[in-house]
Amino acid sequence: MTLPGLATPIPESVPPRPAAQARTARVIMGFGLLGAFLPLVWADSIGLWGAGAAQWLLPVALLLAGGAAIEITAILAHRGLAPRLPVLVAGCVAVPLAAALGNPAFRSAAAGGAPLASAGWAAATVVAVMMGAFLVEMTLYRAGGGAIERLAGTALGLLAVALPLGFLVSLRLTGTPTYDGGWHRPGLLPLVAMIAAVKFGDVLAYLVGSTIGRRRMAPALSPGKTWEGAAGALIGALFASWIVLIPLRALLTPADGGPAGPCGGWIVHGLLVGSAGMLGDLAESLLKREAGVKDSGATLGALGGGLDLVDSLLFAAPTAWLLWVLAAPS
């Protein structure tokens, strides 16, 4: 089964697209998305119209979650593991939503953001969705109907897409700790640092790999990725981490937000988050290669589908979240 317009199978013969034309199309689409995203970041940062932390950005996360759920369902369908689409879409939307609703900083603009509050609600929601998926399969059960395959696909979708997006939301709501056991109001610093490190690394990896890349890094999974591109990705992640966490720190931290910084500082952040971003990209390549599809979808034109857009964030978000949690004084 292939869902229409999604998980495009790799055609047997495709005329090569000129590299310059492909780069131009990706750059134009990338700047278009950035232009649409930055006003929402600005609105969220100033609490436009009295909105609390993440209330402007949460709809974006929920939209991405629903789209990624549809696309990963199409990919898994090629291997007979397609979950029930309504169940997975509902679950992938519910998990980041629970991460927001479970954090006091989302409900009140004056509240502090404890990171474990978001993570606990997100994890509990994953379990609740799996319980619901089991209930659906038990209700509709027929012998040999593929219940185990659907449940396995549901679990994979929740763990690979929904829960990481829950950590993404939690990053926006994570405040800095006070010394009396409380939490300062959250700022944009943790979220922006993670996205900047990953996406700047993505851009530099693509530019370096497509121009001077020679040694393939994972030819069986993604023939276009090279070790030169990987080095570019880490350099880009380090540079972006330094820019955001040092010169821009005060701009992205509330006046009453307290001192902010991840465990290990910008160097550890850049190396670990940048590496996690590349791993997430390769993880999606593994799924697509195993399913025999080229892109998760075509909704973003030259950039592929929504899952192609967020794949590098899915492992980076929990990594960055852990660095911020470990930085809290015991």
Q: What is the pLDDT of residues 46-62, one digit of tens each?
A: 888 888 888 999 999 99
Q: How do 293-297 and 6-9 pair as beta strands?
A: antiparallel
- At a CB cut-off of 8 Å and minimum separation 6, what does 51 contact? 43, 44, 109
- Report the candidate in 185, 169, 202, 175 with the shortest Cα–Cα distance to residue 60: 169
> Please, which residues bridge with residue 198 across strands?
none
Distance CA 255, CA 79 (A): 51
* More confident position, 24 or 92: 92
Query: Residue 4: what pLDDT?
Result: 46
Residue 25 counted as domain residue: yes
Query: HSE (CB half, 13 Å, CA atoms) of 242?
Result: 7
Residue 36 counted as domain residue: yes
Query: Residue 70: what pLDDT?
Result: 93
Say which DSSP state 302 is in: G
pLDDT per position as a tens digit, 205-241? 988 988 887 888 888 888 888 899 999 999 999 999 9
Query: Residue 84: what pLDDT?
Result: 96
Contact 200, 270 (CB under 8 A): no
pLDDT for residue 16 is more than 80: no
Average pLDDT, the chain: 86
* More confident position, 280 or 209: 280
Residue 184 counted as domain residue: yes
Query: Residue 290: what pLDDT?
Result: 92
Cβ burial, residue 145 (10 Å; 0-12/13-18/19+): exposed
Residue 56's domain comprises 18-326
pTM more than 0.85: yes
Most confident of 84-88, 142-146, 206-210, 292-296: 84-88
Query: Residue 168: what pLDDT?
Result: 95
Query: Where residue 300 falls among pLDDT bands split at 50, 70, 90?
Result: low
Distance CA 25, CA 248 (A): 30
pLDDT for residue 13 is more than 70: no
**C-alpha distance across the termini of the chain, in Å:** 51
- Report the candidate in 221, 304, 204 with the shortest Cα–Cα distance to residue 213: 204
Query: Residue 10: what pLDDT?
Result: 54
Residue 1 counted as domain residue: no
Contact 82, 150 (CB under 8 A): yes
pLDDT for residue 27 is more than 70: no
Mean pLDDT of 105-118: 75
Distance CA 182, CA 185 (A): 10
Query: How many helices (H) and strands (E) are present in the chain, helices listed first?
Result: 11, 4
Report how many domains make up the chain.
1
- Report the candidate in 184, 152, 175 with the shortest Cα–Cα distance to residue 82: 152
* Residues shown for the chain: 330
CB atoms within 10 A of CB 7: 28
Query: Residue 33: what pLDDT?
Result: 76
Distance CA 57, CA 65 (A): 13
Query: Residue 45: what pLDDT?
Result: 87
Mean pLDDT of 177-182: 67
Residue 7 counted as domain residue: no
Residue 281 counted as domain residue: yes
Query: Residue 36: what pLDDT?
Result: 82
Query: Residue 219: what pLDDT?
Result: 85
Secondary structure of residue 94 in the 3-state scheme: helix
- At a CB cut-off of 8 Å and minimum separation 6, what does 160 contact? 72, 283, 314
Query: Residue 140: what pLDDT?
Result: 94
- Report the candidate in 316, 1, 271, 3 with the shortest Cα–Cα distance to residue 164: 316
Most confident of 74-88, 178-192, 303-317: 74-88
Residue 127 counted as domain residue: yes
pLDDT for residue 165 is more than 70: yes
Residue 40 counted as domain residue: yes
Query: Residue 326: what pLDDT?
Result: 86
